[in-house]
Every structure is written in C-alpha cells, then in structure tokens.
C-alpha cells in the first residue's frame, strides 16, 4: 500500500493560469553559442563525438550539453543508437537536449566517418568549417550548443525526447530562424582562450523559440507544465511516463512512483496540470506520436507500439480523437 502524505499536507494552489509557456521559458537560464558549420555533399555521413567529449570541448566542467543543428540548405537525417532516422530539411532545427551520441547523414547511404577525424581539436583560430562528402548535392548545417541547469534539460525527468525536429511554420517564425542564425554566423568569432565569443543571446533566443514551438503540443502547456517538473510529487511520475510511454501504466502504479496514495496523486495532477493522471498520459503519448509521425519513417503500427498501443487500429482511433486527423493524415 503506497504511503500517503500526512493529512495536514495540502495540495498547493494551482499556478496562475495566465502563466504562459513564453513566460515560463523566459525564466529558464540558458548559455551557449554557435560553434560549427558543416558543408556536406552527397554521399556523406558522420558519427558525433561522445557526449562527455563534446561537453569537455564546449562547456568544461559539464557532463553534457544540449546540441542543436539548423539545416540551412538540403536535406538530412539524424539517428541515435536505436537507428531510427529523423529527417530534417532547410529551415528545420534538430535538437538533442541531452547531447546524446548520434549519427547524421544525407539522402544517399554512406559509411559514417567519426567526427574526430573531421574536426581539428581546439583551440580554433577561426570557427571550424567541416567539408565532407563525395561532391554531390550539398547540405549546409549550422551547429550550436546550450548549457542549462534546469529540470527541462534533466535526462532523468525526460521532459524532452532525446532527439526531435522542429519545423517552424511558414511566416515570421521560420524567417526569424533563418535570419537569426545567419546573423550569428557573421558575428561569432574565436575567443583567445580557444572557445567562441559572440552574440550568444541569439542562439538562446533561437532555442527558446524552438522549444516553444515543440512544447506547444505538450499536455496543459499553458498551465504550469514546467513547474510540475520541479514538484516533488509530480516529478517522479512525469519522469516515469516520459521515459516509458509504452508501459501499461495505471494510477496505482504511477502513485507508487511517487510513494503517495492514488487519491493524493489524482488531486495533485488536477490542481497543477488540470488533468487526471491517465488523461495526461494519453495526451503525452499523442504528443510523442505526432513528433514521430512528422520526422521519422517508422510505420504507424510501430509508432503505436512505442506509445503503448497493442494494435494499429486502437492507436489510430486514439490519435484521431486527440488531433482530429488520422496518423497517416498527420504524416502528410
């Protein structure tokens, strides 16, 4: 029987409903810079440095950094160790919030080359530019990093997937992404100590915008979703859901993750996120599924299994209820 908090412990008042995602993200302290430009020609592929090596170069003392790649031209894919390819094209932003080991490549298959063989070690006398490939059509990628001591970037909470692609909608957001990264490239210069100095605020603003676009589909984002990641009761429950959306969670098994009673967990969810736990779980599964449909070639049944549905039919029904369109429609 899970332990219940003492009766005098009351659920805190619900957060201010006017606290928007923009305001919440504005309180997340980020620091980072653009640090690399890649000019890749078909056919090409490379494997990045391990996370600890990347962090040692870019943010000494940190165990990991968040990475982002902005595709300036062409089309490419990025995959983690599971091998699933997430595709991106010009104007898209690829985010690896935990800096995981990854491989990137173009539209034609090629054996991956280690980044260690392509990139000269620091200190750099100029921003590194990697030119790699066999001379075919070109893909340009701008690489940056961020470091943040915030639960949003805590791997244990899994608030963000380890890899996702954001495609800003046509209009001001997409134009701003392109303009800001172009300006950052023109202004960024090497620092005497071997790092990079320049308009670091621009990468921070860019990633805030990308996170806002990505999280806009998260359950109850207009309330205190990010605040819930800091809540001692909700944080371990959210971490469990985010880490394993495919599990057959019940309110009872979720309550055991936080060592509280079922009734207390339900009350806490409704007060902070304005959703019952299982409704949040379903919404999170649909959020994850939509991202996979947009950026990967995984089949609909495979995506359904990844988010906890035994059959393609059950997943399709749930997805259409949540988004008003079938999974195949969302993919188009």
**Domains delineated in the chain:** 21-215 (2.60.120.10), 225-331 (1.10.10.60)
Give the total residue count for the chain: 332
- Residue 202 near residue 186 (C-beta atoms within 8 A): no
How does pLDDT run across 232-266, given as a tens digit for each residue?
999 999 999 998 999 999 999 999 999 999 999 99
pLDDT of residue 143: 87
Residue 276 DSSP class: -
The rounded distance, in Å, linking the Cα atoms of 322 and 6 is 37
- Give the residue from 209, 207, 203 showing the smallest Cα distance to 187: 203
Distance CA 301, CA 313 (A): 8
pLDDT at 65 over 50: yes
Question: Which residue in 201, 143, 163 sits closest to 26, CA to CA?
Answer: 201
Report the pLDDT value the prediction gives residue 127, as an integer from 0 to 100. Answer: 74
Give the pLDDT of residue 241: 92
- pLDDT tens for residues 277-289? 999 999 999 989 9
pLDDT value of residue 21: 60
Decide if 127 contacts 36 (C-beta within 8 A). Answer: yes
Distance CA 264, CA 11 (A): 8
Q: Mention every residue, 6+ apart, whose C-beta is less than 8 A from residue 69.
A: 78, 88, 93, 94, 104, 141, 142, 143, 144
Q: What is the pLDDT of residue 145?
A: 85
Among the listed residues 255, 249, 253, 325, the one whose alpha carbon sits nearest the alpha carbon of residue 293? 325
Is the pLDDT assigned to residue 74 strictly greater than 50? yes
The answer to whether the peptide bond before residue 43 is cis (omega within 30 degrees of 0) is yes
Q: What is the mean pLDDT of residues 14-38?
A: 62
CA nearest 147: which of 55, 226, 24? 55
More confident of the two residues 199 and 143: 143
Q: Which helix (H) or strand (E) holds 266?
A: helix 262-272
């Amino acid at each position: 029987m899970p332990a219940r908090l003492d009766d005098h412990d009351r659920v805190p008042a619900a957060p201010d409903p006017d606290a928007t995602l923009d305001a919440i993200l504005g309180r997340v302290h980020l620091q980072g810079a653009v640090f690399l430009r890649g000019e890749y020609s078909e056919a090409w592929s490379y494997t990045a440095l391990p996370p600890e090596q990347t962090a040692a170069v870019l943010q000494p003392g940190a165990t990991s950094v968040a990475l982002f790649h902005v595709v300036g031209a062409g089309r490419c894919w990025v995959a983690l160790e599971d091998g699933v390819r997430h595709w991106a094209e010009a104007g898209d932003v690829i985010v690896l919030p935990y800096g995981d080991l990854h491989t990137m490549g173009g539209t034609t298959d090629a054996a991956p080359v280690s980044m260690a063989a392509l990139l000269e070690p620091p200190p750099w006398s100029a921003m590194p530019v990697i030119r790699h490939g066999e001379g075919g059509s070109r893909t340009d990628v701008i690489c940056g990093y961020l470091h943040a001591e915030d639960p949003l970037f805590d791997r244990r909470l899994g608030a963000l997937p380890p890899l996702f692609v954001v495609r800003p909608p046509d209009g001001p957001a997409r134009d701003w992404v392109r303009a800001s990264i172009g300006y950052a490239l023109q202004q960024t210069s090497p620092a005497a100590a071997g790092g990079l100095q320049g308009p670091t605020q621009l990468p921070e603003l860019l990633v805030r915008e990308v996170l806002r676009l990505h999280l806009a589909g998260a359950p109850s984002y207009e309330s205190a979703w990010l605040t819930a990641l800091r809540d001692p009761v909700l944080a371990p429950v959210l971490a469990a859901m985010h880490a394993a959306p495919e599990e057959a969670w019940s309110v009872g098994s979720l309550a055991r993750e936080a060592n509280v009673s079922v009734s207390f967990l339900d009350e806490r969810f409704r007060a902070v996120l304005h959703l019952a736990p299982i409704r949040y779980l379903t919404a999170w599964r649909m959020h994850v599924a939509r991202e996979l449909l947009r950026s990967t070639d995984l089949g609909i049944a495979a995506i359904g299994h990844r988010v906890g549905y035994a059959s393609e039919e059950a997943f399709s029904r749930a997805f259409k209820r949540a988004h008003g369109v079938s999974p195949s429609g969302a993919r188009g």
